[in-house]
Structure 1
Amino acid sequence: MSLSGQVAWVTGGGSGIGLAGATQLAQAGCRVVISGREGPKLGAAIETAERLGAPRGAITAAALDVADAAAVTATARAIEAELGRIDILVNSAGINFPKRYWCETDAATFEQVVAVNLNGAAYCTLAVAKGMRARRAGTVINIASFAGWHYEYMTGPAYTASKAAMMALTHSFNIEECVHGLRATALCPGEVATPILKKRPVQPSEADKARMLQEEDLGRTIRFIAEMPPHVCINELVISPVWNRTYVAGEALQCKAAAP
């Protein structure tokens, strides 16, 4: 399906997966609005996207904290007023914190993670669903996580729970909205070499990051989902690096086959 002339809204678009997705959607012909909490960072992100091949002027920005429901609604209405509609929503805003495990986290930290990762995605989806429903067309791409599909230690309880709930959010959308021609995908990537890695209690080495998924891998995947024909819904898409640290604790633990 051609995306030429479609309007895409990408939250968390200032860096990482969101920016890579915005770049690819702009290259595919979309008018793209990226949003994020750090307004000055968004201008630099647009410059980066254009250096990577996004047409000049195809991407604009709107500062937004997705945890603020009223601000989300106002931003969606502003996009619709300027560009006419929102055809594609990419819920990519997400956070985590170094103090993430049961032994050290607290209620305030848990609440912040859920407010952005889960509630923010719900607020944005609510803000675009009515218009999509009226046009009987629309695509929602929720950047969930491998951690929401295959539970693991590394991400901590708040992040894991928020991403698992994001997958449930995706399926509930499809259950209700499929009859209106709408579709949603839970995109579940394994480790991706993005700036959020700086929030890890122990940051991966450069060698480990080189073996992870890269931002552009996810950008192409977002475009692939959006370009599916309107009758196709990819309910879940799980993608991981071949060397998956969720499965292996490190090379020292891998089975060493005896030489023949």
Structure 2
Amino acid sequence: MLWDLAVDKILAKHKRIDILITSAGINATKRNFDVLTTDAWDDVVNINLNGLFYCVHSVLPTMRAQKGGLIINVSSWAGLHPSKLTGPAYNATKRGVLALTESINTEECAYGIRASSLLPGEVATPILEKRPVPPTTEQRARMVQPEDMGKAILFLAQMPSRTCINQMIVSPTLNRHFIGVVTAPLSK
């Protein structure tokens, strides 16, 4: 598989894998049950959940052998707080990321492997274009920015190996979910 080839190339060059960051996130444009197709469901599950699993599965043998490693899985605010806006496929896959991360910590901590779920709220990235009503430029300016997420990932990566941050939630100060601004229009 493609991910196994990537692991082989990394090992050939660096002899170890210390960190894996999985950050896959797509959503269906027509995302609610009344309009969601089975093909769209499969696409979201294959990228958001299966892709993450295959990458983790590929690095675990190396991390076990070297007795350590960090896996950072980017989930979503929707993993904890599902909504009609994000839809069932996205909600389910991002909740699944949380469960997979917990499973890694449960099964692999004895090997010195730790995993963190990073749960961003609204982040000004291109996935917002798939929303039924994309946010305005002004709204995006008040959201978490990609560089903010980079700093959160760096923070997790710099923690000592004796420390596992199981979950980290990063949301905009003006959290539109809290004030009821983020809602999904009816599909029909």
TM-score by length of 2: 0.94
Equivalent-residue separation in structure 2 for 1:162 and 1:231 (angstroms): 29
- With over 3 angstroms needed to count, the CA separation of the structure-2 counterparts of 1:106 and 1:91, relative to structure 1, is same
Runs of 4 or more off by more than 3 Å in structure 1?
Answer: none
Cα distance, 1:85 vs. partner? 1.8
Maintained 8 Å contact 1:152/1:246: no
Maintained 8 Å contact 2:41/2:89: yes
Counterpart mapping for 1:45-84 below 5 A: 70-84=1-15
Maintained 8 Å contact 1:90/1:140: yes
Cα distance, 1:211 vs. partner? 1.0
User: Between Structure 1 and Structure 2, whose CA radius of gyration is higher?
Assistant: 1
- The alignment status of 1:222 with 2:166, answered yes or no, reads no
Equivalent-residue separation in structure 1 for 2:110 and 2:15 (angstroms): 23
Residue number among 49, 65, 80 corresponding to 1:118 in the alignment: 49
Equivalent-residue separation in structure 1 for 2:12 and 2:122 (angstroms): 37
- The aligned amino acid for 1:140 is I
Residue number among 172, 175, 178 corresponding to 2:103 in the alignment: 172
Match of 2:113 in 1: 182
Counterpart mapping for 1:1-260 below 5 A: 70-250=1-181
Gaps of 5+ in 1: 1-69, 252-260
Aligned-pair Cα RMSD in Å: 1.2
Structure number with the bigger relative contact order (C-alpha 8 A, sep ≥ 6) is 2
Cα distance, 1:249 vs. partner? 2.4
TM-score by length of 1: 0.68
Maintained 8 Å contact 2:77/2:121: yes
Equivalent-residue separation in structure 2 for 1:160 and 1:191 (angstroms): 14
Match of 1:58 in 2: none
Aligned-residue sequence identity (percent) comes to: 47
Equivalent-residue separation in structure 2 for 1:102 and 1:93 (angstroms): 22
